[in-house]
Homo-oligomer: A and B are copies of this chain.
Amino acid sequence: MKRATLRDIAQALGITVATVSRALKDYPDISAATKLAVLTTAERLHYAPHPLAVKLRQKAYKVVGVVVPDIVHPFFADVISGIVDVVEALGYHVILSQSNESYEKEIRVTQMLQATGVDGLLVCLSNETVAVDHLRALQDYNLPVVLFDKISSGLDASTVVTNDFQGAYDAVAHLLDQGYTRVAHLKGPAHPENTRQRFAGYQAALAAYGLPFRPEYVLECQAVTHAEGFAFAQQLLALPEPPQAIFAVTDSVAIGAITALKQAGRRVPQDVAVIGFSDWAVCQLLEPTVSSVAQPGYDIGRRASELLLREIQQLRDEQPPEHSHLVLDATVRVRQSSQRPLPGGA
């Protein structure tokens, strides 16, 4: 079946496309009779406006581009889900791309998105990304960009992130509240701002509780993997005075550490308490269940989309786009791995 156009309707009725167009959009200066005729033949021909023609005329793509380092990562899947729900509710669609944590590919992908036509971009920077000229170039062409999760201060754009500092602080405070005084941190690499914030939250909590910062309790992961958690936990156990609790920069590191602790004959949480970060679904399935800090992925996606759509609208209205910087709270989810047994307990 060939798709019907305004011309088909017009020819069937012996009128012009202009009249048909206005009849379909319920303009006041079209008679009720013609409106009815147009509507019924439009129905009969299964007419639907051609999306490209409308968009070309309206100069609106009705599409936002999304760039994440890795679609498969559960956190990003959450974010994407939030984005899709918000933008679809406003008649927009989502074009998805991944940078594979590569700076080069991020550049390629953002340019492809601009070339293919989007009204705005939601970007989580790759770990490799330092310079953001490729994004500034997009802004120069009136393409609004909103950064989320992995952001950059080098770009004048709206941002939405998790409060990593507060999340880390709360996690460590949760440990300290239970009376632990020797709390280690398996931190992430220096670069992504997120992991630095988590480290800062760790330090701040120690300070707030009047505890000394002990450098030997802080080990820096590079790949942030299960294997690193495993190795570093063993290293901590080998200390003359091993820690009573561990705050890991990520769940995979935490789980690796728990595995190492168990293999070394330590019980979790009785001998060593552990808490991770990100609250992956696996945390609820492990034994013991793993405490973690939940990042509001879905909400990050929602809020970032809302900011972007607002900026898109402002640009259409010839207003200068306003930038906002949102910091969403992380939530400590206390499970078995970080619960200190009561002194008098069984």
**Neighbour of A88 across the interface among B94, B112, B282, CB < 8 A:** B112
Q: How far is the CA of A282 from the CA of B74 in the complex (A)?
A: 12
Chain B residues within an 8 Å CB radius of A142: 1
A117 touches B51 (CB 8 A): yes
A62 at the interface (CB under 8 A from B): yes
Q: Which residue of B lies closest to A60 (CB)?
A: B52
A52 touches B48 (CB 8 A): no
Chain B residues within an 8 Å CB radius of A53: 56
Chain B residues within an 8 Å CB radius of A161: none
Q: How far is the CA of A259 from the CA of B289 in the complex (A)?
A: 11
A318 at the interface (CB under 8 A from B): no
Q: How far is the CA of A97 from the CA of B98 in the complex (A)?
A: 16
**Neighbour of A55 across the interface among B52, B94, B259, B282, CB < 8 A:** B52
Q: What is the count of identical protomers in the complex?
A: 2
Chain B residues within an 8 Å CB radius of A62: 116
**Neighbour of A141 across the interface among B3, B63, B115, B140, CB < 8 A:** B3
A93 at the interface (CB under 8 A from B): yes
Q: How far is the CA of A336 from the CA of B51 in the complex (A)?
A: 54
A269 to chain B, nearest CB (A): 15
A257 to chain B, nearest CB (A): 12
Interface segment among A26-34, A76-84, A164-172, A236-244: the answer is A76-84
**Neighbour of A72 across the interface among B70, B78, B140, CB < 8 A:** B78
A335 at the interface (CB under 8 A from B): no
A226 at the interface (CB under 8 A from B): yes
Chain B residues within an 8 Å CB radius of A97: 84, 88, 93-94
Chain B residues within an 8 Å CB radius of A70: 81
Q: Which residue of B lies closest to A109 (CB)?
A: B88
A43 to chain B, nearest CB (A): 15
A-B contact list, 7 entries, CB within 8 Å: A70-B81, A71-B81, A74-B74, A81-B98, A281-B282, A285-B286, A287-B287
Beyond contacts A53-B56, A63-B116, A72-B77: 14 other A-B pairs, Cβ-Cβ < 8 A, are A1-B141, A48-B114, A51-B117, A55-B117, A72-B78, A88-B109, A93-B95, A93-B112, A93-B116, A94-B95, A252-B285, A282-B286, A286-B286, A287-B287
